[in-house]
Structure 1
Amino acid sequence: MSDLVLAAGCVLWRRAQDGGGLEVCLVHRPRYDDWSFPKGKLKRGETALEAALREVLEETGHHCVPGAPLPTALYVANGRPKEVTYWAAEATDGAFVPNDEVDRLAWLSPESARSRLSRPGDRIQLDAFLHAGRNGT
Structure 2
Amino acid sequence: MILAAGCVLWRPAPGAAGAAGAAGAGGIEIALVHRPKYDDWSHPKGKLKRGETLAACAVREVAEETGQSCELGARLPSVHYLAQGRPKEVHYWAARALGGTFTPGREVDALVWLPPARARARLTQPRDRELLDALLATPVR
TM-score range, shorter chain: over 0.9
Identity %: 61
Partner of 1:59: 65
Q: How does 1:55-94 map to 2 (within 5 A)?
A: 55-94=61-100
| Aligned equivalent of 2:125, options 116, 119, 133 | 119
Matches within 5 A, 1:21-40: 21-40=27-46
Taking the aligned partners of 1:108 and 1:93, their CA distance within structure 2 comes to: 16
| 2:51 counterpart (45, 56, 61) | 45
Q: Within 1, Cα distance between the matches of 2:105 and 2:120?
A: 24
The 1-side partners of 2:70 and 2:58 are apart by: 10
Residues 75-130 of structure 1 show CA distances to partners (whole Å, capped at 9, x for unaligned) of: 11111111000000000010101011100001011101111111111112111110
Aligned to 1:99: 105
Give the whole-Å Cα distance in 2 for the aligned partners of 1:121 and 1:69. 15
**Corresponding residue SS for 1:93:** strand
Following TM superposition, by how much is the alpha carbon of 1:18 offset from its aligned partner in structure 2, in angstroms?
3.0
Q: Distance in 2 between matches of 1:21 and 1:132?
A: 14
Does the residue aligned with 1:126 lie in a helix, a strand or coil? helix
Q: Do structure 1's residue 5 and structure 2's residue 2 form an aligned pair?
A: yes
* RMSD, aligned α-carbons: 1.0
Query: Partner letter of residue 10 of structure 1?
Result: C
TM-score, with normalisation over the residues of structure 2?
Answer: 0.91
Between 1:64-73 and 1:20-29, the stretch displaced more is 20-29
**Unaligned residue ranges in structure 1 (runs of 5+):** none
Give the superposition deviation at 1:38: 0.2
Write out per-residue CA displacement over residues 3-40 of structure 1, whole angstroms, 9 at most, x where no aligned residue.
Answer: x1100000000001132610000000001100000000
Q: TM-score, normalised by structure 1?
A: 0.93
Provide the aligned length of Structure 1 versus Structure 2.
Answer: 132
Matching residue's letter, 1:8 = A
Runs of 4+ residues over 6 Å off in structure 1: none
